[in-house]
Amino acid sequence: MKVLVATEKPFAAVAVNGIREVIENAGYELVLLEKYSSKQDLLDAVKAADGLIIRSDKVDAQVFDAAKNLKIVVRAGAGYDNVDLAAATVHGVCVENTPGQNSNAVAELVFGMAIMAVRNMYNGTSGSELKGKSLGIHAFGQVGRNVARIAKGFGMSVSALDPYCPDEVIAEAGVTPIHSVEDLYKNNQVVSLHIPATDETRNSVGYDLITLMPKNGVLINTARKEVIDEEGLRKALSERSDLKYVADIRPDIANELEEEFAGRVFFTPKKMGAQTSEANINAGIAAANQVVAFLRDGIDRFRVNR
């Protein structure tokens, strides 16, 4: 059996070694396709694969059509909006993610970005501190929970909105549950986005919510660019010169935003949240174990398609 690791943005070498060990110990062959530049490379490589490990790599119907032997795809990470689940199901392929394995890395980056924003992008002027500020966490999943844990160390007051998470779970973490999205934005100086990109959330954070933020509000997006209504964001930033937006993935209109709002926006050139060797090891090895468990024993505990 062949397991293809196809990563346009590669794992750290130490993680690849760990993945290799798991795959080869199971008696399977590891095939590595890193930093590929064309979709054709993926289409060619996937032809002989029984299992596939990816990151944000796009796996659409064309990939499933080409992958005649494919039985399982594991997205080494949390968000699986890059995989066409319906096409996977039509082809009888199991799709899984590795929830929680890279969440601390993303949560730490939230604070890297928050500090950068409140210190005025390190431009030499006096900024402000996170201590004493209010933080609103938009979705209390694995990343949101790590963000809450770290925020307490900074002395922030933390609240969270998550209609899919019971209030008790939020409260047990020492976080105040919030029940309306308007309140989340209205009541918090810093808002951190952790919603997945779904039909429900795409373009859902725009002008109306962003302009509810208090003076000097900072919006941090380490989730997905798709959840932002970019023209709404642009309008909000132009009307409110006190607001800042920092994101771990360039918006489609990044150039315009950088030009119009210099010093108030910052974007990583490539998604960096999960780019630590620890997260690569955790998510990569979990993915390898999940591929083996499925191919060998039919275990599909982390399946996301039915």
Interface with ligand 3PG, residue 217, by CB under 6 A: no
Strands 218-221 and 244-247: parallel
With CA atoms as reference, report the closest residue to 240 among 212, 273, 262, 221.
212
Structure tokens at 101: 């394995």
Residue 237 or 247 having the CB closest to ligand 3PG? 247
Residue 112 or 214 having the CB closest to ligand 3PG? 112
* Piece of the chain touching ligand 3PG by CB under 6 A; list 17-25, 107-115, 252-260, 267-275: 267-275
Residue 274 or 291 having the CB closest to ligand 3PG? 274
Q: Measured between alpha carbons, how far is residue 110 from residues 26, 32, 94, 164, 286 in Å?
A: 37, 31, 32, 22, 24
Contact (CB, 8 A) for 235 and 252: no
Residue 79 or 217 having the CB closest to ligand 3PG? 79
Q: Which of 4, 102, 204, 276 binds ligand 3PG (CB under 6 A)?
A: 102
Interface with ligand 3PG, residue 83, by CB under 6 A: no
Burial class from Cβ neighbours inside 10 Å (0-12, 13-18, 19+) for residue 199 reads exposed
Radius of gyration of the chain (CA): 20
Residue 110 or 212 having the CB closest to ligand 3PG? 110
Q: Which positions ≥6 away from 45 have C-beta within 8 Å? A: 4, 6, 31, 33, 36
Residues 112-141 close enough to bind ligand 3PG by CB under 6 A: none
Interface with ligand 3PG, residue 49, by CB under 6 A: no
Residue 159 or 276 having the CB closest to ligand 3PG? 276
Binding residues for ligand 3PG, total number by CB under 6 A:
11
Interface with ligand 3PG, residue 273, by CB under 6 A: yes
What pairs with residue 6 in β-bridges?
33, 54
Q: Which of 16, 271, 284, 289 binds ligand 3PG (CB under 6 A)?
A: 271
Interface with ligand 3PG, residue 247, by CB under 6 A: no
Q: How far is 122 from 273, CA to CA, in rounded Å?
A: 20
Residues in the site for ligand 3PG, rule: CB under 6 A? 9, 55-56, 77-79, 102, 271, 273-275
